[in-house]
């Protein structure tokens, strides 16, 4: 959840957000709201959370005086269920006359199903039966590693617009799942993987280690899958109305791609001496730079596709 803090609307108190929060697959990072009040004696307040349609999601009573009070929202509603992704208003209400003292808007993005969706694909009976011994299995591992890295960056508050990144990531994964499961017999992505695997069979060891030779990995990801990924990423951006990514956020996503894809590369073996180590370091640097260049190129392509679609409306 990315929170936007407006100026205080009242004189009795002010809401300040202590940290950002998102719903993650492994745990909930709660929203912590510090309540600064200016009353000289204890004052009864209510913290009310409502959606953009003004429907009350949660309302808790709290007593506060000059010292700061802390309210924590774990992104659950009064029915103890997680709220839907969307925009919410957190309000501080003075109970003595039921006036709003201050408020802050927040955006909730649900990322809980990102990794669960990849796991589901690995357990899909059709995929397991027909593609567990193909490049698709390696690709699913790469996809999982990329999403884990993006979630880690979200948790560490590394993005300027985490809500946008979380939305696009979640919709991209759902798009990939839809592509693979929508009609498995006529899936373009699976057709490409089948043809590629016939020309470039890989061993059980490569599948188990989830690593491919550099040129094979390049040929597979860039020449076979990149165009489909670009389209699905553009679809995700269009659906959540994200027109662009900030330079910082784009760089962070590229970082996730570089670190994750590189883990699945097998570089040539070099002599285990000082010279060999130096050559290995150079090869690693060149490889990561190449992955960075290609990744940024395709993210920009998705952004361009998104812009062109919006011009058509």
Which domains does the chain show, CATH number per domain? 2-108 (2.60.40.2550), 113-311 (no CATH)
Strands, E assignment, 146-231? 212-213
Predicted confidence at residue 142, as pLDDT, reads 96
Whether the predicted pLDDT of 31 surpasses 80: no
Point out which residues pair with 242 in neighbouring strands.
none
What is the band of 41 on the pLDDT scale with cuts at 50, 70, 90? low
- State the Cα torsion 17-18-20-25 to the nearest 10°: -120
pLDDT tens per residue, range 43-85: 788 889 998 888 999 998 877 665 677 777 888 888 988 888 7
Lowest model confidence (mean pLDDT) among 4-18, 80-94, 103-117, 293-307? 4-18
Q: How far apart are CA 254 and CA 178, in angstroms?
A: 24
- In this structure, are residues 283 and 275 in contact, taking their beta carbons and an 8 Å threshold? no
- In this structure, are residues 178 and 113 in contact, taking their beta carbons and an 8 Å threshold? no
Burial class (CB in 10 A: 0-12, 13-18, 19+), 192: middle
Which helix H or strand E contains 89, and what residues bound it?
A: strand 86-94
What is the band of 1 on the pLDDT scale with cuts at 50, 70, 90? very low
- What b/e sequence results for 26-57 when a residue is b if at least 16 CB atoms lie within 10 Å of its CB, and e otherwise? eeebbbebebbbebeeebebbbbbbbeeeeeb
- What b/e sequence results for 100-117 when a residue is b if at least 16 CB atoms lie within 10 Å of its CB, and e otherwise? ebbbbebbbbbbbbbbeb
Burial class (CB in 10 A: 0-12, 13-18, 19+), 81: exposed
Lowest model confidence (mean pLDDT) among 19-23, 36-40, 235-239, 264-268? 19-23
Q: How far apart are CA 115 and CA 261, in angstroms?
A: 17
Lowest model confidence (mean pLDDT) among 12-16, 73-77, 159-163, 287-291? 12-16
Radius of gyration for the alpha carbons in the chain, expressed in angstroms and rounded: 24
Which of 35-39, 89-93, 124-128 ranks highest by mean pLDDT?
124-128
Q: How far apart are CA 66 and CA 36, in angstroms?
A: 7
CA distances from residue 113 to 118, 120, 189, 231, 242 in whole angstroms, order as listed: 9, 10, 22, 21, 20
Whether the predicted pLDDT of 29 surpasses 80: no
Q: What is the DSSP letter of 80?
A: S
Lowest model confidence (mean pLDDT) among 35-44, 218-227, 256-265, 286-295? 35-44
Quickly count: other Cβ atoms within 10 Å of residue 286's Cβ: 11
């Amino acid at each position: 959840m990315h929170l936007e803090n407006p100026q205080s609307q009242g004189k009795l108190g002010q809401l300040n957000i202590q940290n950002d929060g998102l719903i993650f697959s492994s745990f909930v990072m709660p929203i912590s709201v510090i309540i600064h009040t200016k009353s000289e004696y204890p004052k009864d307040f209510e913290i009310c959370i409502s959606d953009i349609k003004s429907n009350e999601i949660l309302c808790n009573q709290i007593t506060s005086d000059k010292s700061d009070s802390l309210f924590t929202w774990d992104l659950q509603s009064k029915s103890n269920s997680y709220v839907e992704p969307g925009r919410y208003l957190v309000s501080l209400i003075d109970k003595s006359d039921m006036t709003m003292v201050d408020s802050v808007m927040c955006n909730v993005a649900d990322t809980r199903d990102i990794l669960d969706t990849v796991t589901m694909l690995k357990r899909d009976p059709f995929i397991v039966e027909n593609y567990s011994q193909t490049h698709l299995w390696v690709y699913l591992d790469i996809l999982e590693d990329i999403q884990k890295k993006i979630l880690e960056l979200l948790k560490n508050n590394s993005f300027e617009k985490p809500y946008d990144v979380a939305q696009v990531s979640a919709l991209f994964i759902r798009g990939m799942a839809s592509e693979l499961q929508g009609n498995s017999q006529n899936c373009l992505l699976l057709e490409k993987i089948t043809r590629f695997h016939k020309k470039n069979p890989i061993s059980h060891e490569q599948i188990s280690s989830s690593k491919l030779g550099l040129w094979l990995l390049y040929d597979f990801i860039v020449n076979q899958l990149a165009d489909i990924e670009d389209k699905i990423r553009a679809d995700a951006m269009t659906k959540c109305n994200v027109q662009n990514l900030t330079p910082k956020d784009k760089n962070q996503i590229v970082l996730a791609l570089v670190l994750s894809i590189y883990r699945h590369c097998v570089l040539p073996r070099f002599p285990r001496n000082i010279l060999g180590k130096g050559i290995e370091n150079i090869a690693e640097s060149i490889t990561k730079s190449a992955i960075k260049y290609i990744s940024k190129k395709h993210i920009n392509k998705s952004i361009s596709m998104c812009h062109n679609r919006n011009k058509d409306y």
